[in-house]
Amino acid sequence: MRSKGRVLDPQGQFLQTWNKIFVISCLISVSVDSLFFYAPAIDGDDSCLYLDHKLEKIASILRSLTDIFYLLRIIFQFRTGFTASSSRVFGRGVLVEDTFEIAKRYLTTYFLIDFLAVLPFPQVFVLLVRPHLQGLKVMTEKNILMLIVICQYVPRLIRIIPLYIQITRSAGTVMDTAWPGAAFNLLVYILASHVIGALWYILAIQREETCWREACNGQDGCDRASLYCGSAVYGNNTFLQDACPTNGDADIDPIFGIYLPVLQNVSQSTGFFEKLFYCFWWGLQSLCSYGQNLKTSIYIWENLFAVFVSTSGLVLLALLIGNVQTYLQSASGHIEEMRLKRRDMQQWMAHRLLPEHIKERILRHDQYKWQETQGVDEEDLLTNLPKDLRRDVKRHLCLSLLMRVPMFEKMDDQLLDAMCDRLKPMLYTEGSCIIHEGGPVNEMFFIMRGTLESMTTDGGRMGFFNSNVLKGGDFCGEELLTWALDPTSGSNLPSSTRTVKTLSEVEGFSLRADHLRFVATQYRRLHSKQLRHTFRFYSQQWRTWAACFIQAAWHRYCRKKMEDSLYEKEMRFQAAIVSDGSTSRSLGAALYAAHFACNMVRVLRRSAARKARLLERVPSMLLLKPAEPNFFAEEE
């Protein structure tokens, strides 16, 4: 039987991430291979060539580290399923999980390329073969090593291209965000400059070696083995400086052409980084200028290399500009869209001759909305998601904020999900009027951030005004909840008893009338007195009514207390009059005392009557008791 072991999904997150890592590792491995090109150098004193063995070993170790990613890639390919072409009629198709079919498909497609790319020929040649070579054979190693590295460039580059296409088809881009994507494309261009510079260096050494060989063949008594440092044959090679001069100042050198700068400056240098950065700068400059700065000789391979540099510069720079522009446009697309939208808005406002204060409010609201959402239409984005995923996203966005409203703290998860799914985020700038007193209430607004002012004149009653401040956790438009919970209410929306205006920028969620009526049917199943008390405590209608009720009760208490005080004083005066009559004082004194007492009682009663008339007005100022939502009504 064919086994069905653990198979990786090519569209899974693990392989998507791994493919991106592998693409970057491939680019780095190509740049590491170029380090082998810097191993040959020239001894200017003895006019001979030698190899930097330390650099070769370091490059071999780095090459071995990058080859680990290729080995992992081969292992993963034997465990990566594929979609059968016959099943792609609808959807993503059927994933083939048979390991035998997977191995068969891989062995007939990219296995040979991956195998050739991972073969450790440079490491084996440097670490095992190189120590046994002496004299002229060392330079033969140079040619073989250069040929191996260049030949392995082909499968390594070929493997990158289909992998890059696979990533862009499945994920859209290699990098998810704009700036890392632009940096990735710039990295490709920089690594290409490094490779071109390394090729320029090794070809320059090769060109000088060829010139030396030709000069040695025409010189009597010259042994070619003496051209290589460390050889047992010693010869006087001073004639090479005249036969192959590198100190020429001609505009176009007839012998070395474009290779002359590297032979004059860094070919005899023992510092690796000096050669690396000099050649890198030349490669970057040549690619950016499409090779226009190259002044070649008539040497055929030199001109072919110049054509290769020029063509590579044209293609790579076009790809760099195109990809970077795509990434940067995706980063600044919303900004450009915002700019165009604002321009159209200003033209429309000018065409309609809107007043300046309305223009300012419109621009301020648009700017505030941009700062909060960055130009993303959240409602449109959520509409295209599946229902369960949309519910989870809404719950993540709204639940923590919704729980800040005390009225919703004790509700069950089912009701909270229904609320979150129907809540709509709203933004208001300073000075906006959310609800007008006397106007229809078409939504209930739950405040998350900001401050609002809620005021009422009780329908425009003379001398009546009530105002308070709403903050995060409060709500307004509670008349709509009473309307929604009333089974007998019709389609006419209730009228607002308050005017609500923003004192600062306000964020919150609104629940429209039809959505609230649907959610309100869930309230009738909540037989909880705590919910009723919470609604009364945080409702502005109930707060205002309670304040007026307490104020009226206080005035009634003060009036009763004043009446009791007046009655007590009147009784004391009457007792004083009776006491004066019983003491047999003179009749004149008694009459004077009685007259004085009557005047005092008349003054006190007149003052009490005036205060009583003021106090009698208090009950008329008392608001009508608000209608209470029917939390306990059963569904019909």
Pair 516, 568 in one domain: no
Domains: count for the chain: 3
Three-state secondary-structure class, residue 444:
strand
Pair 73, 117 in one domain: yes
Pair 452, 418 in one domain: yes
CATH number of the domain bearing residue 382: 2.60.120.10
Q: Choose one of 144, 174, 204: the last residue of a domain.
A: 174
Half-sphere exposure of 138 (CA within 13 A, CB side): 22
Q: Choose one of 158, 174, 190: the last residue of a domain.
A: 174
Q: Is residue 318 part of a domain?
A: no
User: DSSP readout, 256-308?
Assistant: TGGGHHHHHHTTT---HHHHHHHHHHHHHHHHHTTTTT----S-HHHHHHHHH
Q: Choose one of 493, 513, 538: the last residue of a domain.
A: 538
Question: Which H or E run includes 43?
Answer: strand 40-43
Q: Is residue 361 part of a domain?
A: no
Pair 612, 480 in one domain: no
Bridge partners of 228, per DSSP, are 49
Three-state secondary-structure class, residue 210:
helix
480 in Cβ contact with 533 (< 8 Å): no
Task: State residue 281's pLDDT score.
Answer: 93
Of the ranges 87-101, 356-370, 436-450, 536-550, the best mean pLDDT one = 436-450
Pair 549, 521 in one domain: no
pLDDT mean over 22-43: 85
What confidence tier does 70 reach under pLDDT thresholds 50, 70, 90? confident
pLDDT digits (tens, 9 = 90+) for 177-192: 667 777 777 888 888 8
* Better pLDDT: 544 or 538: 544
The residues, any chain, with a CB within 8 Å of residue 624's CB and separated by 6 or more, are: 545
328 in Cβ contact with 173 (< 8 Å): no
State the pTM of this model. 0.58
pLDDT digits (tens, 9 = 90+) for 383-439: 778 877 887 887 787 777 677 666 666 677 777 777 777 878 788 878 888 888 888
Q: Is residue 308 part of a domain?
A: no
Q: Is residue 182 part of a domain?
A: no
pLDDT at position 360 over 80:
yes
Average pLDDT, the chain: 76
What confidence tier does 602 reach under pLDDT thresholds 50, 70, 90? low
Task: State residue 619's pLDDT score.
Answer: 44
pLDDT at position 1 over 50:
no
Pair 36, 102 in one domain: yes
Three-state secondary-structure class, residue 8:
strand
Pair 615, 471 in one domain: no
Q: Is residue 450 part of a domain?
A: yes
pLDDT mean over 253-272: 83
pLDDT at position 261 over 70:
yes
Q: Is residue 403 part of a domain?
A: yes
Pair 519, 607 in one domain: no
Separation of alpha carbons 578 and 394, rounded Å: 84
Pair 558, 521 in one domain: no
Task: State residue 91's pLDDT score.
Answer: 47
Separation of alpha carbons 71 and 114, rounded Å: 9
pLDDT at position 370 over 80:
no
Task: State residue 395's pLDDT score.
Answer: 79
pLDDT digits (tens, 9 = 90+) for 565-601: 777 776 776 676 566 555 544 555 555 555 566 666 6
Pair 493, 553 in one domain: no
Pair 429, 484 in one domain: yes
Pair 424, 398 in one domain: yes
pLDDT mean over 248-271: 81
Residue from 148, 171, 211, 191 nearest 16 by CA: 171
Q: Is residue 471 part of a domain?
A: yes
pLDDT digits (tens, 9 = 90+) for 482-541: 777 776 777 788 888 788 898 888 888 888 888 877 777 665 554 456 666 666 666 666
Domain enclosing residue 627, as ranges: 542-575+600-635
Q: Is residue 410 part of a domain?
A: yes
